[in-house]
Chains A and B, each alone.
Chain A
Amino acid sequence: NAGVTQTPKFQVLKTGQSMTLQCAQDMNHNSMYWYRQDPGMGLRLIYYSASEGTTDKGEVPNGYNVSRLNKREFSLRLESAAPSQTSVYFCASMDRPSGYEQYFGPGTRLTVT
């Protein structure tokens, strides 16, 4: 039971490059989330998916897109990376049977130069 996994752990991009952050959970949770963590800002919600087949914007969606590929996987795409997207990105999942506790992945540290 791996919980929530994320790949890659680290990534360096040049401005304008694109990449996809992958997230998968094996807890059969319906809801999945993407956050970014920046110093002094806490965690800010980028996008979420309340269930398979649905996605919605969070607080800071600009510059990102998401895909809920199936119940297990929720990916985050940066189409044209900018230095302002340098951050640590966390994927999380939760559901009612687990008491709505959020389970987090280990994070992806992204640097855009």
Chain B
Amino acid sequence: GNSVTQMEGPVTLSEEAFLTINCTYTATGYPSLFWYVQYPGEGLQLLLKATKADDKGSNKGFEATYRKETTSFHLEKGSVQVSDSAVYFCALRGLSGGYQKVTFGIGTKLQVIP
């Protein structure tokens, strides 16, 4: 079946540091890939997505590139802010048992300190 692997963290960075959160996946076919963000006390919301190989998703200074050869979708940001503190989930969507199923990683908690 499909699976997503990411580090749990927490990842602690100083403001303006460079961020990388690794995400690798296992899937059949050609899944779409997503990063969701969860701020404290809230539900998940879509941060960015990529639907085919070599696509780059970007939003709010975050970027991730769909690498089929390495089955990866690593999240990066050049300069993090305190307001980026949240839990980040990598996810993939593909067909499973005839329906569109989303498989999530365990989530990586990011703490940004001033």
Contact = CB atoms under 8 A, between A and B. Distances in A.
A40 B106 contact: yes
Q: How many B residues touch the partner, as a band?
A: 20 to 34
Contact of A101 (B41, B49, B98): B49
Contacts, number: 50
B93 to A, nearest CB: 6
Interface residues of A, number: 22
Nearest to A35: B104
Nearest to A94: B100
Interface string A96-109: 00011110111100
A94 to B, nearest CB: 7
Interface string A24-57: 0000000101000000111101001010000010
B41 to A, nearest CB: 8
Interface of A: 4, 31, 33, 40-43, 45, 48, 50, 56, 90, 92, 94, 99-102, 104-107
Interface of B: 8, 32, 34, 36, 41-46, 49, 89, 93, 97-102, 104-107
10 closest Cβ contacts across the A-B interface?
Answer: A104-B43, A42-B106, A43-B104, A104-B44, A50-B99, A42-B104, A106-B43, A101-B46, A107-B43, A105-B43
